[in-house]
Chains A and B, each alone.
Chain A
Amino acid sequence: GAGVSQSPRYKVAKRGQDVALRCDPISGHVSLFWYQQALGQGPEFLTYFQNEAQLDKSGLPSDRFFAERPEGSVSTLKIQRTQQEDSAVYLCASSPGTGYGYTFGSGTRLTVV
């Protein structure tokens, strides 16, 4: 597609439930990023992939968060045993490589109740 596509757009999860968020980057984009945006804040870095390799996962808040990009295109962010503090918008972005601007998706708004 022309842009970065994320699904679902909205997700309501009960506390303790596992969730999976999907990102389809722009075709051919080598770099893929996940960011978390809390209400009233700017996005915060979670993790970075170059092709299928996860080169930086330093921003993942806990070991309940896991991301993968097995074939170097689609990526999934999984959150296990969701907590209320996980409620946020999760943004995916892709770029042709280092030094290029990002193209963000519209995000997935996760609400944990």
Chain B
Amino acid sequence: TQLLEQSPQFLSIQEGENLTVYCNSSSVFSSLQWYRQEPGEGPVLLVTVVTGGEVKKLKRLTFQFGDARKDSSLHITAAQPGDTGLYLCAGADDYKLSFGAGTTVTVRA
């Protein structure tokens, strides 16, 4: 059972376009983490957001944490084929992470 809902489930875009992935929960978490997972590999941590309203930028990726610390978004500007992968959000409750089902992003060259 996934406590976090991610949308959309699948996203296919052309290189150079922008995209946004959403992560929503009815629960409040102490922090929220975003991971990217490629086929046959484990998830790789992209960012951790802690404070309600927080915005973090990582090159072309922008992460927002909602004011109520229940929702988050990931925005990618000028997507590249190397951005292709499964994007997972995870809510942290002390040591335990609860993951969403993920958004599969495909960036076509």
Residues of chain A touching chain B, judged by Cβ–Cβ distance below 8 Å, are 4, 31, 33, 35, 40-45, 48, 55-56, 91, 93, 98-99, 101-107
**Among A56, A98, A102, A105, which residue has the most Cβ atoms of chain B within 10 A?**
A102
* Chain B binding surface SS class: strand
Tell me which residues across on chain B come within 8 A of A40, comparing CB atoms. Answer: 101
Query: When A41-B101, A56-B96 are in contact, do A102 and B45 touch as well, CB less than 8 Å?
Result: yes
Residues of chain B touching chain A, judged by Cβ–Cβ distance below 8 Å, are 2, 4, 31, 33, 35, 40-45, 48, 88, 90, 94-102
Determine which of A31, A42, A48, A101 lies in contact with B100 in the assembled complex, contact meaning CB atoms within 8 Å.
A42
Give min CB distance, B82 to chain A, whole Å.
Answer: 19
Q: Are A107 and B101 in contact (CB-based, < 8 A)?
A: no
Tell me which residues across on chain A come within 8 A of B90, comparing CB atoms. Answer: 42
